[in-house]
Structure 1
Amino acid sequence: MVKIPCRSENGQVVNIEVSDSVFDRVYNEALVHQIITSYLANARRGTRAQKGRSEVAGSTRKQWRQKGTGRARAGAASNPLWSGGGKIFPNKPTESFTKKINRKMYRAGMCTIFSQLLRNNKLIAISEFQIETTKTKFFLQKLKNYQLENVMIITDEVDENLYLASRNIPNIKVVEVDLIDPVSLLSYDNVVITREAVNKIESVLQ
């Protein structure tokens, strides 16, 4: 079992044991790249629309007679080979960019990321993270007490006070364990995780 320091708001530090399979894996760059590529592709929506041959406006008249002109045979001006014609394989809003990745690979990739964050001292464990009000200034003061900025905070449950106090602050993201993603984990300088969230992550990823 790996031991990581867990801080409390009053400054006390207690070492907690965490699973080797989740927080002590060898970094696999190829696997991390694969799950990030899959995540970004699955989040992408088809927003492009191009016109095919049947959708291009204009006459369908044959441009010149079939024989006798010395030029190549030609039909309608909507021919995709012509400038201004339709596209041969037009993009449509129904286009899907989905990349499938199986569950076992995704979990292994997330464990790899958590392990690397811990090795690089970017993963910080704290006993709990709660505030008694929705005021943003109290939330910022709490971050200052922990000396944190540009940080992602993972909790087992985000209550209404924490959500409302943190939602308008740039470079700060507060999420529940069920909503973490590989891109966010690698986008912030530090990742803060509560003790209860550690237990929940272990149960989900093992």
Structure 2
Amino acid sequence: MEAPLVNSANEEVGRVALPEEIFGTPVNEALLWEVVRMQTANRRRGTHATKTRSEVVGSGRKLWVQKGTGRARVGDRKNPLWKGGGTIHGPQPRSYAYSMPKKKRRLALRSALASKARDGELVVVDGLGLTEISTKALAANLKAMGIDNALIVVPERDEVLEKSARNLPKVKVLRVEGLNVYDVLCFEKLVLLKGALERIQERV
């Protein structure tokens, strides 16, 4: 498999070979769903909480005597059946995180990358032409390439590119070690810097 290599002016300057074992992987949509579900679950904070009758502020006095009034027996005002009382079986802080086998996660990542190549949403660039931190310059370069919604994958830390992209709401810069299924599928285009291809092959 091959893909065109373009520069920041969207001019083709060569061709690059795409590893068949990654970008030729059959797209497994069910596995992609599983991994995205795991990632979104792991991102949940799980800080929701309701107060039980032991946590509600109020008196513990018994409201009326047990017998002789003709009314139903009752305890204190914190009874869950009363307005302002505690909550029965309400949500409590917990972790939603769970894990999946590493082989399945790697296969899902290969499947996500292959889906971008299959759908023509993969762009390989030799550089984005930034010499200093400039959101305006990065936005102009991406516009020249016909891109306004993209995940840009870099082989290593690139402070100039990362800081230039942080104010663009539909652009995210990610290093190869942080590459994941959710982000690959979340953005319309996957932009790979040339050096990132080899690093991706080593990782997956």
Which category describes the TM-score, using the shorter chain as reference length?
0.7 to 0.9
In the TM superposition, 1:50-199 aligns within 5 A as 50-92=50-92, 94-199=93-198
Query: Residue 2 of structure 2 aligns to a residue in which SS?
Result: strand
Structure 1: unaligned runs, 5 residues or longer: none
The percentage of aligned residue pairs carrying the same residue is 33
User: Is the contact between residue 62 and residue 74 of structure 1 (CA under 8 Å) also seen in structure 2?
Assistant: yes
The separation in 2 between residues aligned to 1:199 and 1:30, in whole angstroms, is 27
Q: 1:176 to 1:130 in 2, by over 3 A?
A: farther
User: Is the contact between residue 27 and residue 116 of structure 1 (CA under 8 Å) also seen in structure 2?
Assistant: yes
The separation in 1 between residues aligned to 2:70 and 2:203, in whole angstroms, is 72
User: Is the contact between residue 153 and residue 191 of structure 2 (CA under 8 Å) also seen in structure 1?
Assistant: yes
Q: 1:175 to 1:130 in 2, by over 3 A?
A: farther
The separation in 2 between residues aligned to 1:109 and 1:87, in whole angstroms, is 41
Q: Which runs of 4+ in 1 moved over 4 A?
A: none
Query: Which residue pairs with 2:202 in the alignment?
Result: 203
User: Is the contact between residue 130 and residue 162 of structure 1 (CA under 8 Å) also seen in structure 2?
Assistant: no
Query: Residue 131 of structure 1 aligns to a residue in which SS?
Result: coil
Query: Residue 186 of structure 1 aligns to a residue in which SS?
Result: helix
User: Is the contact between residue 8 and residue 142 of structure 2 (CA under 8 Å) also seen in structure 1?
Assistant: no
Count of residues in Structure 1 that have an aligned counterpart in Structure 2: 203
Q: Deviations over 1:65-109 (max 9, x none)?
A: 2233444332222122333221223434x4211122222211111
1:9 Cα deviation (Å)?
Answer: 4.6
For residue 167 of structure 2, what is the amino acid of its counterpart? N
Query: Which residue pairs with 1:45 in the alignment?
Result: 45
Note the aligned Cα RMSD (angstroms).
2.1
Q: Deviations over 1:113-150 (max 9, x none)?
A: 11111100001112334521112333233223433221
1:183 Cα deviation (Å)?
Answer: 2.4
Q: Could you tell me the TM-score, scaled by structure 1's length?
A: 0.86
For residue 65 of structure 1, what is the amino acid of its counterpart? V
Structure 2: unaligned runs, 5 residues or longer: none
Query: Which residue pairs with 1:32 in the alignment?
Result: 32
1:177 Cα deviation (Å)?
Answer: 1.0
1:13 Cα deviation (Å)?
Answer: 4.5
1:6 Cα deviation (Å)?
Answer: 2.6
User: Is the contact between residue 152 and residue 174 of structure 2 (CA under 8 Å) also seen in structure 1?
Assistant: yes
User: Is the contact between residue 5 and residue 13 of structure 2 (CA under 8 Å) also seen in structure 1?
Assistant: yes
The separation in 1 between residues aligned to 2:139 and 2:54, in whole angstroms, is 58
